[in-house]
């Protein structure tokens, strides 16, 4: 039963289109569960898991990428299950270096 669920598509994101048309990429329950379990694995002594520790709880973090990309999916997961807050750029215009700088400076 679980093998069937593990291999079912959970979410579909798209490539950026930088090399042509955008392409859909499907992620399964098994893949997202693996990413979620990452939070449960302790780091070796004297080291940190950068994918978890660079986004800190109770601090504002800047999301510069789009939600339709896998990074956006992982960020939403961290926001919901990891008690991490994110700030996104403006939705009415493209993110520029100046806007990203101003957002980062205000955090």
pLDDT digits (tens, 9 = 90+) for 3-52: 688 889 888 888 878 888 988 888 888 887 877 777 777 888 998 777 66
Beta partners for residue 87, in sequence order: 62
Dist. CA 35–CA 76, nearest whole Å: 12
Place of tokens 């339709």: 68
Where are the domains positioned within the chain? 2-106
Q: Are 84 and 61 in contact (CB under 8 A)?
A: yes
Residue whose C-alpha is closest to residue 69's, from 18, 30, 103: 18
Q: How confident is the model at residue 98 (pLDDT cuts 50, 70, 90)?
A: very high
Q: 2-106 architecture in CATH?
A: 3-Layer(aba) Sandwich (3.40)
Stated as kind and residue range, the H or E segment containing 29 is helix 29-37
């Amino acid at each position: 039963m679980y093998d069937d669920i593990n291999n079912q598509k959970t979410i579909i994101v798209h490539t950026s289109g930088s090399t042509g048309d955008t392409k859909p990429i499907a992620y399964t329950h098994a893949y997202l569960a693996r990413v979620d379990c990452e939070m449960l694995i302790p780091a070796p002594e004297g080291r940190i898991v950068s994918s978890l520790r660079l986004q800190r709880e109770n601090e504002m973090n800047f999301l510069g990428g789009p939600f339709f990309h896998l990074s956006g999916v992982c960020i939403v997961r961290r926001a919901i299950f990891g008690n991490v807050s994110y700030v996104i750029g403006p939705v009415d215009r493209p993110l520029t270096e100046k806007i990203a700088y101003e957002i980062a400076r205000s955090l």
